[in-house]
């Protein structure tokens, strides 16, 4: 199971942690993992295209992101990522869990 954790403060996503594997299908064929990965990569690349200093992230086995500047564009993109992962969770409840603090 993929576990995605979003930490908010005053409505702003400050931190994201994502770990695990969906196990929907074999490695390399797993559409849930592919959807999460594509959403995550697109979000990070979009944020970095606006401001390379807006976030800090580690994309090792366990993905972690910190929202440094908390500017409007970054906040919108991180909110969109949260909504996207929630949509994936709605369809694949046994493969991804999205939590928010």
Active site amino acids: 21, 33
Q: Are 80 and 72 in contact (CB under 8 A)?
A: no
β-pair partners for 96: 2
Cβ within 8 Å of residue 53, ≥6 positions away: 68, 69
Q: Are 98 and 6 in contact (CB under 8 A)?
A: yes
Burial of 52 (0-12, 13-18, 19+ CB in 10 A): exposed
């Amino acid at each position: 199971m993929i576990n995605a954790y979003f930490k908010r403060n005053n409505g702003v996503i400050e931190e994201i942690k994502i770990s695990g594997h969906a196990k929907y299908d074999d490695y390399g064929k797993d559409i849930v993992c592919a959807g999460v990965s594509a959403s995550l990569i697109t979000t990070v690349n979009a944020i970095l295209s606006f401001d390379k200093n807006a976030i800090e992230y580690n994309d090792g086995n366990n993905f972690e992101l910190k929202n440094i500047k908390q500017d409007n564009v970054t906040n919108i993109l991180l909110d969109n990522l949260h909504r996207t992962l929630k949509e994936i969770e709605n369809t694949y409840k046994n493969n991804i869990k999205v939590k928010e603090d």
